[in-house]
């Protein structure tokens, strides 16, 4: 298994631009999670899906953030418009099912820099 695949690995964009981060979960995993990691706040859960349906998006910081999961093998996290304070590492993770207390498998992350 190739694991959780995220793209791009690095993204540098100008303030005000739209940014789209992508994630392919492990095949057979029903739940997908988006986390953000910063020095100040550590790892924060932004949103998670189960069977492609968003379950809880209360961690999404603002309306500028949106996430979709159109099918079981693909999810996107979009920031529009981007701001310098959005600079962080964004991780996608997947698990068998969030109804089960299993650990998550993480992707390598996308390092976003907004200038």
Residues that bind other proteins (CB under 8 A): 4, 33, 42-43, 45, 48, 56, 91, 93, 98-101, 103-109, 111
DSSP secondary structure of 68-89: EEEETTEEEEEESS--GGG-EE
Sign of the dihedral defined by the CA atoms of residues 60, 87, 51, 107, in that order: negative
Cα dihedral 5→9→14→18 (10° resolution)? -10
Q: How far is the CB of 12 from other proteins (least distance, A)?
A: 15
Select 66 or 105, whichever has its Cβ closest to other proteins: 105
Select 52 or 105, whichever has its Cβ closest to other proteins: 105
Q: How far is the CB of 5 from other proteins (least distance, A)?
A: 11
Select 65 or 90, whichever has its Cβ closest to other proteins: 90
């Amino acid at each position: 298994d190739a694991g959780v695949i995220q793209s791009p690995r690095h993204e540098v964009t100008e303030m005000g631009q739209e940014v789209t981060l992508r994630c392919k979960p492990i095949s057979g995993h029903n739940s997908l999670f988006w986390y953000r990691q910063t020095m100040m706040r550590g790892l924060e859960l932004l949103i998670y899906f189960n069977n492609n349906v968003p379950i809880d998006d209360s961690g999404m910081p603002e309306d500028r953030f949106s996430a979709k999961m159109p099918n079981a093998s693909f999810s996107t996290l979009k920031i529009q418009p981007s701001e310098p304070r959005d600079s962080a590492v964004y991780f996608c993770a997947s698990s068998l099912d969030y109804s089960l207390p299993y650990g998550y498998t993480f992707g390598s992350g996308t390092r976003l820099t907004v200038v």
